[in-house]
Structures are given as structure tokens and as C-alpha cells.
Amino acid sequence: MGLREAMNPHPSERSSAELLAQVGWVRALARELVPADPFLAEDVVQDTVLAALRRPPDGERSLGGWLATVVRNLARQNRRGDARRRARETDVARADAVPSTLDLVEKLSAHRAVVEAVSALEEPYRTAVLLRYFEELSPPEIARAQGIPLATVKTRLARALDRLRERLDRGHGGDGRSWFLALVPLTRNPGAAGAMT
């Protein structure tokens, strides 16, 4: 290698040296743009360096400005890619969330057990439960509809629920959790599920 070549290194060697001098702030910028994922930020840095080595900017453009643009573009592409990946994973999770035949049969069995238990209640408890949980009337609405005091409606509901619990516990070997957990997905009103506990 001659003296002239040593003093004027090949352009790619010069840009490699310049690039190495820029890596620190490129890394800082990538971490700022992708703060939640340090590994993704490091991927952005590596991809930026590779892009600069493969196709460095022409001599008219500053290396720092060019690198900043590349980092921002790569970070934006990765965010878009992550958003698409999360959307695909959510779609797959929804497809996986379809209940199995066994789950559906268990829900049907639990529903049937409750309907039979409610049907077996004596009056006026059966009507109180049907109006409250099947017709979704509030206790004050039931009191007005039946022309009875609100306290009477609340007492009937409390006694009816006690009797339903006892019957369902007996039907499930004394394990109230098994029938209750099976009913939770059947309730349209989360408050109604809480009322059964």
C-alpha cells in the first residue's frame, strides 16, 4: 500500500470508521424510539448498521442525518409489524377460545340443573326467581308489579336462593363451587351471578 492510499483510505473504510463513531448515539436514539423493548431497540441498531454498510449514503448527505432517518424508519416498521403480529395473535386466540363440545355439554347440563331446580321451587319463591333472574326485573319493579312490599320481595329472593343452593349442592355432591362456576358463563348480567353466591 502506498503512502497516498494510506492517507486517503478507501471510501468504504472511511464510512465504516465514521459509522463506528456514530453507533453510540444511534443506540440511544433506538432505545428512545423503542423504550419498551431493549432487544428490539438493539435489533434496530444492528439493522441500521447493516443498511449503512450495504448502501452507505452518498457523499453529499451527512451520515448522522441519514442514520437518524434509517433508525426512525426501522423503529416505525417494527411497531407496525408488532401491531400486525398482535392482531394476528388476537385473532388466533379468539379462534382458540371457541368452547369445546365437552364445555358446551357441561354448560347445558348446568343450565338444565338450574332450570329444574327453579321449576321445583314452591310458590311464591319460583315466581320471585323467575321475575328477578329470567325476566331481569329489579326487586323494586317486582314489588310494584305484584303489589307487595319491597322487603317481602327481598325476603322471598333470599329464601329462594338459599333453597336453590341447597338443592344444587345436593345434586353436585355438596360442592357448590362445581355448579356455580359452570353457571357463570350462562349469566348475561354479572350482578346476577354475584347474587347467587
CATH number at residue 52: 1.10.1740
Q: Are residues 107 and 189 in the same domain?
A: yes
Q: What is the mean pLDDT of the chain?
A: 76
Please give the tally of structural domains in the chain. Answer: 2
Determine, yes or no, domain membership for 2: no
pLDDT over 60 at 5, yes or no: no
Between 27-36, 80-89, 110-119, the lowest mean confidence (pLDDT) is in 80-89
Q: Are residues 30 and 79 in the same domain?
A: yes
Q: Are residues 88 and 111 in the same domain?
A: no
For residue 153, count CB atoms less than 10 angstroms from its CB and return exposed for 0-12, middle for 13-18, buried for 19 or more. buried
Element (H, E) at 15: helix 11-33
In this prediction, residue 140 has a pLDDT band, given cuts at 50, 70 and 90, of very high
- DSSP 8-state class, residue 60: T
Q: Are residues 58 and 107 in the same domain?
A: no
Determine, yes or no, domain membership for 146: yes
Q: Are residues 188 and 165 in the same domain?
A: yes
Q: Do 26 and 71 meet the contact criterion of CB atoms below 8 Å apart?
A: yes
Domain final position from 96, 130, 160: 96
Determine, yes or no, domain membership for 32: yes
Candidates 165, 181, 184; CA nearest to 118 is 165
What does each C-alpha distance from 8 to 4, 19, 66, 93, 101 come to in angstroms? 6, 17, 23, 59, 75
Determine, yes or no, domain membership for 122: yes
Determine, yes or no, domain membership for 1: no
Percent of the chain with pLDDT over 90: 17
Q: Are residues 107 and 187 in the same domain?
A: yes
The domain of 191 spans: 101-195
Cell numbers representing residue 121 in the block: 321451587
Q: Are residues 92 and 105 in the same domain?
A: no
Domain final position from 52, 72, 96: 96
In this prediction, residue 142 has a pLDDT band, given cuts at 50, 70 and 90, of very high
